[in-house]
Amino acid sequence: MKVEIRCSESGRFSNKFERHLRIERHEQTHRPYYRVSTDDQSSDPQRFELQDYCQRKGWSVAAEYCDTVSGGKFTRTGLDRLMAAVRKRMIDVILCVKLDRLGRSFPHLAQMIFEFDSNGVALICTSQPIDTSEENPAGRLIMHVLIAMAEFERSLIKERTLAGLRVAKARGVKFGRPVRPVTQKCREIVRSFREGNIRTYRELAKALDCSVSRAHALAKAA
């Protein structure tokens, strides 16, 4: 029997197909994430709960990630390593005790869940009814609601930003880098350039003490 497998235009298989291949080869990887806010707290209760969950499921743990930092921080050493592995498609399932262990900012959480879904990674929160694996339709529904709410919030932020820019422009506010005034000395240097005493724009920029692009602009305007 001849079997034909098609790739996408980018040359990669679909997320679902890649995950099925890994499952068929029994290479599914599970990685827990723990986080505590201060050094006075211990991540052991989270670790024990997730290890017990994996043992009951018969899962082996490929690696663990842990942070001791506030959940409001977007950049964390352990989380950054976790997301790098997600983008390299090295993970099938991420486990954490509760969703707030990943983060306390809703837009950040929604963005992470969107990346998980895009890279074929399921998220399981053992102390909450959150399981975004394909075997759990209710969990995937929660995931899509979170993603939709994040996109809606981004649209609101964009709309508010554009409205603020329109109001500022109506008040006469100018955006961008302030324009430096052209002095008499600049005009004399540019005149010397036009007369051939300064040969290149690089030499002109050096004489004007500015960038080459600025020298081009001054040569046209002055």
> Could you list the active site residues?
37
Beta-strand ranges (E) seen in 104-202 are 122-125, 130-131
What is the spatial distance between Cα 49 and Cα 55, in angstroms, rounded to a whole number? 10
What is the number of other CB atoms lying within 10 angstroms of the CB of residue 61?
14
What is the number of other CB atoms lying within 10 angstroms of the CB of residue 34?
22
Angle at 99 between CA 95 and CA 102, to 5 degrees: 75
| Residue that the structure tokens 């955006």 belong to | 175
DSSP 55: H
Sequence-separated (6 or more) residues with CB below 8 Å from residue 35 = 43, 46, 66, 67, 68, 69, 71, 76, 78, 79, 96, 101, 102
End-to-end Cα, the chain, rounded Å: 76
What is the spatial distance between Cα 35 and Cα 38, in angstroms, rounded to a whole number? 9
